[in-house]
């Protein structure tokens, strides 16, 4: 499957991204709209954080019905930990957009991202929303992608084209989020739209299959956001008819591929990141062990600073593995960095370290730890921990 990391048109959907003055940078886009021509089957997964944003509560509530026509997303303010005023603000924002579009408020969901603990100015939002409605266009996916960026350095999009029942179908997605990224149930904000004729149940299934290999398999800093949402919407305009087994497989694969490409883009653009590292744990005694071990390695500040320093610091990787709670036996495990074997039979392979260091100087490499204790595997995408991570987060506004 070919995944394109650029904006795409998806029949049945229009997009917009405008500046409403919610971000402090003048002229920066901070209000985005996705609008479907008709109410669509849709599903979402959301942050498992017990402190959830107002937008997440509204999204969860409204998507119980499995139908959606518009998403209004703002950056510059997370509207999280804002209590009842926050909930009222989120609902009023949706109502305003619904009125502008002439649709039912229950078909609109909000999303917010930015600093936690503050409300945005409704007057600014309101003017921005009018401008966004006026700007809606099938070609504006990138504008939307820009409008939801916070510390992201670039917009993130991915799309693919598949054939279902002989008909061409598009699946495209947009995502943001390069800090507070360790989604266990979802990620920051990601929207996947398709013109496939798919039911809500089919979308749920496709998203459920995609998550463990995309948004739930990445980390930037081990911190889970309060505002995470992933939404999938299907316009049905491809008129591909009911999906048979092969179609379902192809469709799930396309949704999975788009989600995985977006997830990798988030980590590649992780706050201060200079490297994308794929951490694979194989031969674990159980799936839980494999995941625990891969996550511990991926989130260890000592491992991540070693990545930044291009230092094949085997000891830190094994320290993290050993402290993960997973079954680990020093004498059995084999460790590879960039395909170079650096530890085996309970000892470091000192002669291999120079080759491993060379691999680590590339922008993307993998670390594979074969525990040799069973058959379970897990893969987590992570990035390095650099001066810029500290800079971005020590100086990011209150």
Which of these is catalytic: 113, 151, 160, 187? 187
Minimum Å gap between C-beta 271 and a copy of itself is: 9
Q: Is 187 a catalytic residue?
A: yes
**Residue 304 Cβ, how far from a copy of itself at the closest point, in Å?**
9
Q: How far, CA to CA in Å, does 156 sit from each of 44, 143, 173, 210?
A: 19, 11, 8, 18
132 CB-side CA count, 13 A: 36
We find the least distance from the C-beta atom of residue 326 to a copy of itself, in angstroms, to be 8
Cα end-to-end span (Å), the chain: 43
Give yes or no for residue 385 binding a copy of itself (CB under 8 A). Answer: yes
Q: Is 257 in the site for a copy of itself (CB under 8 A)?
A: no
Q: Which is nearer to a copy of itself, 97 or 340 (CB)?
A: 340
40 vs 54, beta carbon nearer a copy of itself: 54
Which of 3, 37, 81, 199 is close enough to bind a copy of itself by CB under 8 A? 81
For residues 116 and 134, give the distance between their C-alpha atoms in angstroms, rounded to a whole number. Answer: 29
State the Cα–Cα distance between residues 55 and 115, nearest whole angstrom.
14
Q: Are 239 and 167 in contact (CB under 8 A)?
A: yes
Least CB distance from residue 334 to a copy of itself, whole Å?
13
Buried b (16+ CB within 10 A) or exposed e, 198-215: bebebbbbbbeebbeebb
Query: CB of residue 311 vs a copy of itself: minimum separation in angstroms?
Result: 5
Residues 323-362, interacting with a copy of itself (CB under 8 A):
323, 326-331, 343, 345-348, 350, 353, 357
Shortest reach from residue 167's CB to a copy of itself, in Å? 42
Stretch 196-235 residues interacting with a copy of itself (CB under 8 A): 221-226
Closer Cβ to a copy of itself, 50 or 64, answer by number = 50
Q: Which of 288, 301, 361, 363 binds a copy of itself (CB under 8 A)?
A: 301
Of the candidate residues 26, 83, 102, 166, the single one contacting a copy of itself (CB under 8 A): 83
Task: State how far the Cα of 216 lies from the Cα of 378, in Å rounded to an integer.
Answer: 11
Stretch that binds a copy of itself, among 35-43, 77-85, 200-208, 235-243 (CB under 8 A): 77-85
What angle, 0 to 180 degrees and rounded to 10, lies between the N-to-C axes of helices 314-323 and 287-299?
130
137-196: which residues touch a copy of itself (CB under 8 A)? 179-180, 182
Residue 347, burial from CB neighbour count under 10 angstroms (0-12, 13-18, 19+): exposed
Q: Are 21 and 128 in contact (CB under 8 A)?
A: yes
Beta bridge partners of 189: 176, 229
Give the separation between CA 44 and CA 204, rounded to whole angstroms.
8
* Residue from 104, 168, 244, 315 binding a copy of itself (CB under 8 A): 315
In this chain, which stretch among 5-13, 88-96, 102-110, 305-313 interacts with a copy of itself, using CB under 8 A? 305-313
Residues 23-62 that bind a copy of itself (CB under 8 A): 48-52
Please identify, among the stretches 58-66, 122-130, 155-163, 306-314, the one whose residues bind a copy of itself according to the rule CB under 8 A.
Answer: 306-314
> Applying CB under 8 A, does 260 fall inside the site for a copy of itself?
no
Q: Using the minimum distance from each CB to a copy of itself, give the nearer residue, 26 or 83.
A: 83
* Residue 164: φ, ψ to 5°: -120, 125
Residue for token pair 């959907």? 13
Supply the minimum distance, in Å, between the C-beta of residue 84 and a copy of itself. Answer: 7
- On whether the CB atoms of residues 179 and 271 are closer than 8 A, the answer is yes
Identify the sign of the CA torsion 79, 81, 87, 88: negative
Reference 256, options 314, 306, 293, 211; nearest CA is 211
Residue numbers annotated as active site: 187
């Amino acid at each position: 499957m070919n995944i394109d990391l650029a904006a795409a048109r998806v029949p049945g959907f229009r997009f917009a991204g405008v500046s409403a003055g919610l971000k402090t940078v003048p002229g920066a886009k901070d209000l985005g709209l996705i609008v479907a021509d008709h109410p669509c089957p849709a599903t979402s997964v959301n942050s498992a954080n017990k402190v959830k944003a107002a937008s997440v509560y509204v999204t969860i509530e409204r998507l119980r019905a499995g139908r959606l026509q518009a998403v209004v997303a703002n950056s510059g303010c997370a509207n999280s930990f804002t209590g009842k005023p926050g909930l009222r603000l989120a609902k009023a924002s949706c109502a305003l957009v619904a009125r502008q579009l002439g649709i039912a408020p229950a078909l609109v969901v909000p999303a917010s991202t930015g600093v936690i603990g503050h409300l945005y100015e409704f007057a600014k939002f309101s003017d921005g929303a009018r401008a966004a409605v006026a700007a809606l266009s099938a070609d504006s996916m990138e504008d939307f992608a820009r409008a939801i960026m916070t510390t992201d350095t670039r917009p993130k999009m991915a799309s693919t084209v598949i054939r279902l029942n002989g008909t061409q179908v598009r699946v495209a997605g947009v995502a943001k989020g390069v800090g507070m990224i360790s989604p266990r149930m979802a990620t920051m904000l990601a929207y996947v739209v398709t013109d496939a004729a798919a039911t809500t149940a089919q979308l749920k299934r496709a998203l459920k299959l995609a998550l463990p290999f995309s948004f739930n398999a990445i980390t930037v800093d081990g911190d889970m956001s309060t505002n995470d949402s992933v939404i999938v919407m299907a316009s049905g305009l491809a008129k591909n008819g009911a999906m048979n087994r092969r179609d379902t497989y192809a469709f799930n694969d396309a949704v999975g591929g788009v989600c995985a490409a977006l997830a990798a883009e988030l980590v590649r653009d992780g706050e201060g990141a200079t490297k994308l590292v794929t951490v694979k744990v194989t031969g674990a005694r159980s799936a839980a062990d494999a995941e625990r071990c891969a996550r511990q390695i991926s989130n260890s500040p000592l491992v991540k600073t070693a990545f930044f320093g291009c230092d094949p610091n085997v000891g830190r990787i094994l320290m993290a593995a050993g402290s993960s709670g997973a079954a680990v036996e020093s004498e059995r495990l084999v460790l590879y960095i960039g395909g170079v074997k650096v530890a085996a039979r309970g000892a470091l392979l000192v002669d291999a370290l120079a080759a491993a260091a060379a691999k680590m100087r590339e922008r993307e490499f993998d670390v594979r730890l074969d525990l040799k204790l069973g058959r379970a595997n897990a893969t987590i995408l992570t990035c390095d921990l650099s001066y810029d991570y500290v800079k971005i987060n020590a100086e990011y506004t209150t």
